[in-house]
Amino acid sequence: MRRQSQRLESACVFCGSSDAADPEFLAAAATVGKALADSRIRLVYGGGGVGLMGATAKAAHEAGGDVLGIIPTFLVGVERALETVEHIIVDNMHERKMLMFQRSDSFVVLPGGIGTLEEVVELLSWRRLDLHAKPVVFYNPRGFWDPLFALFKHTVDERLTPPDFMEAWVSVTEADQVVPALLGQAREPFPSEAAVGRRG
């Protein structure tokens, strides 16, 4: 077992890839990207140049930040991979998610659709299984994620999930609160990525 470094070095951002997203969400994504760069936290993301994904990466890159995109071959054209930043091209979605996890020591969840939901539920499931204790911060404008949080609470109320699961993340309502919330979370030991690969 190893421990996180004293300094948070990288953050994976899960978010939507639709250019039709609310302009407020797109602007918030850019705010988060710039804040990560200003804090010298490497952005790890899904590699696309569209939607909140693209807004986050472009802002981080333009602010002089370190950005790594991880994208499967079949999405390079669809999500218009951002050519100005470093990329790793993988074969499939499973490999993408695993590599994003391995290259990150914290996670930010911005508004997104079904793909973002799938990524987040797996991440929190691994947290529930004690496969990691990496900080997770939701940006929750206008209560965007409240229905998901209510569903999680419902599983707790039905005694299908332990109550302490509700402490597995921090939620903030302003984009400029995201990075401080990441930095404010305690550093905890977590198992190696190899363990996640075996059990996840």
- Give this prediction's pTM: 0.89
On whether the CB atoms of residues 47 and 71 are closer than 8 A, the answer is yes
- The angle, 0 to 180 degrees and rounded to 10, between the axes of the packed helices 146-157 and 114-128 is 40
Q: State mean pLDDT over 16-43.
A: 97
The answer as to whether 199 is a domain residue is: no
Residue 3 has pLDDT above 70, yes or no: no
The answer as to whether 43 is a domain residue is: yes
The answer as to whether 182 is a domain residue is: yes
* pLDDT confidence of residue 196: 55
pLDDT for 158-176, tens place per residue? 999 999 999 999 999 999 9
Beta bridge partners of 109: 14, 138
Residue 197 has pLDDT above 60, yes or no: no
pLDDT for 112-168, tens place per residue? 999 999 999 999 999 999 999 999 999 999 999 999 999 999 999 999 999 999 999
* pLDDT confidence of residue 198: 42
Domain range enclosing 151: 8-187
The answer as to whether 200 is a domain residue is: no
Instruction: Give the number of residues written for the chain.
Output: 200
The answer as to whether 173 is a domain residue is: yes
The answer as to whether 192 is a domain residue is: no
The CATH number that applies at residue 89 is 3.40.50.450
Count of structural domains, the chain? 1
